[in-house]
Structure 1
């Protein structure tokens, strides 16, 4: 009897989840599991996951559990207790041992902490089947080996466009999930773990009325159901055609696709989005706007392949070059986090981020530049704050973008400094965005 455990990480879906499909095909019994890490403070002195992202995650897990239940399965959720010396991977190991399981399936996340977890599973004597499946283009179909990828994004894009392989076809959800292990009990005690509170009534259903991604509303909740519905209405309204023209706006739901929060948790895959986008283009025509959606998803792939090439180097203070270790202006960083720097466009953006968990792509670049070049603070602190606050935090894109702005990644210009006054004039000439968040 082959019993396996599936560890959901940032792939909270059944549709187009090749790793989960493989687990279903190879197992007689299957235990789906999700582990909540402790809310430990980082070295910068704040919690790792904001309340906004916790709420969005809670919704996504509720939706995933319902999908599993419809196919006769369930989701075991475990929580690392506060002040515990255990880690999330310790609880995966404990759950496997508790159920006599020796085989683990999971998604590969090519970042140091996440890869250390895979190593720990194998060191515990478990057989691990894990693949990187979060890319739009299958890694083994790239026109170059990951370690030979062009460092500059433009060259990366040109090589892919020349190969004319724009995305991998998504796989179907499993039609059958193997039964749970004998003796499974969702509230059964796993050594070193506690069962998280899951009650729907305990989830806060309020949010900021000016949010550009109101995750407290039904249409923007976490989970595959809301993600698919959002994508469908986005395409039905032909919004891809205007994407390039509106993507640098600062406020509102429709100026960008707003798919990133669901992508970040894996509630929907980039491959599923591209399949739907190509169908849209075949019916309603392609233009620069719909192309630019693919272009942005390619940036997401680029940062993933960059992790395959450089790995831990991307997490060093100096990044990919031999720059001196960044200095840190702790007081300036505090003002930046709270939106009290005195630079109006930066303060408005930082207040929006803290109040809603979301910030436009344009302002993410502006506030990051300001922290690095105007406040002379450590880029790693900014990356950690974004990790804490953003609903759509993605380890690959977050690290890659901060390195890029700081000039410690692959930017051929050696960094990107944005003039905040010019950015305000270009993108908020009438001051309406700043008035919204600064109360002027």
Structure 2
């Protein structure tokens, strides 16, 4: 008998989940787990909590959806609270698990947690699955990947490197370990944590914008049913509204929908209604998302240095100016409007993200890492790859969150 733990991370779904399928195929008993890292409540060096209420609420609705789905499959989600390296080790000892299977996340802190578990003696198998394109079929090695996105895209398209179709097989979950039913589960609050402005471009308090797989898949269907993809390139840089961009990014960031599922829906749409610049640009933005992931595989924690990959001097920082920027009281109307929208809704259009980030670094002369940390705290579609990777491609490492486009 093989008892395994499946550690849900940024893959809160049952469909097209390669790591979960692998765990189910190997285990005779499987315990699905989500670990709430208490360090998310810590105050970072810039003076605010690492994860704010918008992100917490959106996560809560996704976990509620995941719990419900696991129950329909005869299983359950155990939610634990603490540092993964400690809590998962203790849990494995308790239920007699011989190993852990999980989504492979190439960001430094996430890699450190896996390494710590391995060093504790556990067999941990991280499985890469968050990119649209398969690593094995890229027309270059990760070490040889172009550092410029345009070159990356051109090589991918010239080689006709396209995604595999999503897995259609329904997951078959093994039974829970014997002790699992006796374990208590700590869940985070699912009631509204903040009052969300009704003008939000992503009103996550409304059922159609809840986190989780069901709402994400329903939104995917709605977007293509309304044929919004045909006008995507024309509208994607608008500032407010629910339909000017795809709004896939919050669900993609959670892993509630997979990028391969998005691409398959795009292909079906093009076959039925025709392709144009708008539909191409959805593919274009999905490639940007992959590029930031592969950039992490190539450079890892170097992307998190104060100077990024450059040899420039350390960035300056004005704490008072940063606080004014964060509160939306710089005196620059467009910047202040964007920052207040972010604080009120946990969301901001791609174009406004670029505007406020550039203003922070170039006009206020602040450390780009402070801005990246504020985005991490506030954005419901926070993704470590996009949030950090864009610093590399921007002048003076400005943290522009380009991944919002999808």
Shift of 1:172: 3.0
> In the aligned structure 1, how far is the partner of 2:388 from the partner of 2:210?
25
CA contact (8 A) 1:167 1:271 kept: yes
Question: What does residue 43 of structure 2 align with?
Answer: 41
Question: What does residue 196 of structure 1 align with?
Answer: 186
Question: What does residue 155 of structure 1 align with?
Answer: 151
Question: What does residue 27 of structure 2 align with?
Answer: 27
Q: 2:162 aligns with which of 155, 161, 166?
A: 166
TM-score w.r.t. the length of structure 2 is 0.95
Q: Does 1:230 align with 2:232?
A: no
Shift of 1:166: 2.5
- Which structure 1 segments of 5+ residues have no match? 81-86, 189-194, 410-414, 417-440
Q: Does the residue aligned with 1:184 lie in a helix, a strand or coil?
A: helix
Shift of 1:335: 0.5
CA contact (8 A) 1:205 1:217 kept: no
Question: What does residue 4 of structure 2 align with?
Answer: 4
1:262-411 equivalent positions in 2, closer than 5 A: 262-408=251-397
Once superposed, what is the RMSD of the aligned Cα atoms?
A: 1.5
> In the aligned structure 2, how far is the partner of 1:289 from the partner of 1:132?
29
Q: Does the residue aligned with 1:148 lie in a helix, a strand or coil?
A: coil
Number of equivalenced pairs: 398
Extract structure 1 runs of 4+ deviating beyond 6 A.
none
Shift of 1:67: 1.1
Q: Does the residue aligned with 2:79 lie in a helix, a strand or coil?
A: strand
Shift of 1:344: 0.6
Shift of 1:402: 2.7
Q: Does the residue aligned with 2:196 lie in a helix, a strand or coil?
A: coil
Shift of 1:50: 1.2
TM-score w.r.t. the length of structure 1 is 0.88
CA contact (8 A) 1:243 1:255 kept: yes
CA deviation map 1:282-315 (0-9, x unaligned): 0000000000001001000000000111111101
- Which structure 2 segments of 5+ residues have no match? 401-406
Q: 2:76 aligns with which of 74, 77, 83?
A: 74
CA contact (8 A) 1:4 1:23 kept: yes
CA contact (8 A) 1:320 1:408 kept: no
CA contact (8 A) 1:21 1:173 kept: no
Q: 1:103 and 1:245, CA in 2 relative to 1: closer, same or farther beyond 3 A?
A: same
Shift of 1:88: 2.6
Q: Does 1:140 align with 2:136?
A: yes
Question: What does residue 109 of structure 2 align with?
Answer: 113
CA deviation map 1:10-67 (0-9, x unaligned): 0000101000000001100000000111111112121111111111100100111111
